[in-house]
Amino acid sequence: MPQAKISSIAAIKRMLESERLSGRPLAAALATAAGRGGGASARMVVVRGLDTQLMELWFSTDVRSAKVADLAAAPQGELCIWLHRLRVQVRLRCRWRIIGSSASRGRDRARWLAAWGEHSPHARRLFAGAMPGKSYANGRAAIPTTVGGEPPESFALCVGRVLQIDALVLGRPQHQRHVHQRVGRGWQSRRVNP
């Protein structure tokens, strides 16, 4: 397999879009600077959408979750995506914002509704139940059996505007690493030592 191209923003966009459209979930590790215990926090998320023109991506969450509080306290965080087939690690430093039920129109509302529509009935019911991390009463979850068509107020999207891309190819005969930094409306790219 030829080595993946990571030297330009266009190549990174094509790679991420191809992976998103492959039918496999685009899973990523999210690291935030502020955790509830006072240190950094990390968790896995599934990227639900990607806008390669704006270089924004998003995942859904419960607005009552710890990750929303973490991102509100320190809105910069990093996603780390491993593209197994290509042997590429992509780290995306983002500035995060939360889109919830108050998104009344425009692109934010469209993204919010589209993400809700992609969830399974079971996943939808979780947003209408108890808040994440709450102990089960009597050892059982209090999950509703049905949820209406509109997203509940607890459903939110975490939207990240990509500020920096750090891409590493684990290739032969050698590894390659490029860093792309957002500068104004453009990008500044450089190859760095892996």
pLDDT tens by residue, 128-185? 888 888 877 766 666 666 677 789 999 999 999 999 999 999 987 889 999 999 999 8
Report pLDDT for 163.
97
Report pLDDT for 126.
87
* Mean pLDDT across 27-38: 76
Q: pTM of the prediction?
A: 0.87
The mean predicted confidence, pLDDT, of the chain is: 86
Task: For each of the domains in the chain, give its residue range(s) and CATH number, in order of start.
Answer: 9-132+142-192 (2.30.110.10)
Judge residue 172's burial from the number of C-beta atoms within 10 Å of its C-beta, 0-12 exposed, 13-18 middle, 19 or more buried: exposed
**Of 52-66, 84-98, 143-157, which gets the smallest average pLDDT?**
143-157
Distance in angstroms (rounded) separating the CA atoms of residues 69 and 34: 9
- With a cut of 90, say whether residue 122 has pLDDT above it: no
* Mean pLDDT across 61-81: 91
Judge residue 173's burial from the number of C-beta atoms within 10 Å of its C-beta, 0-12 exposed, 13-18 middle, 19 or more buried: exposed
Nearest to 48 by CA among 32, 63, 28: 28
Nearest to 25 by CA among 71, 72, 65, 59: 59
- Tokens 């500020």 label which residue? 163
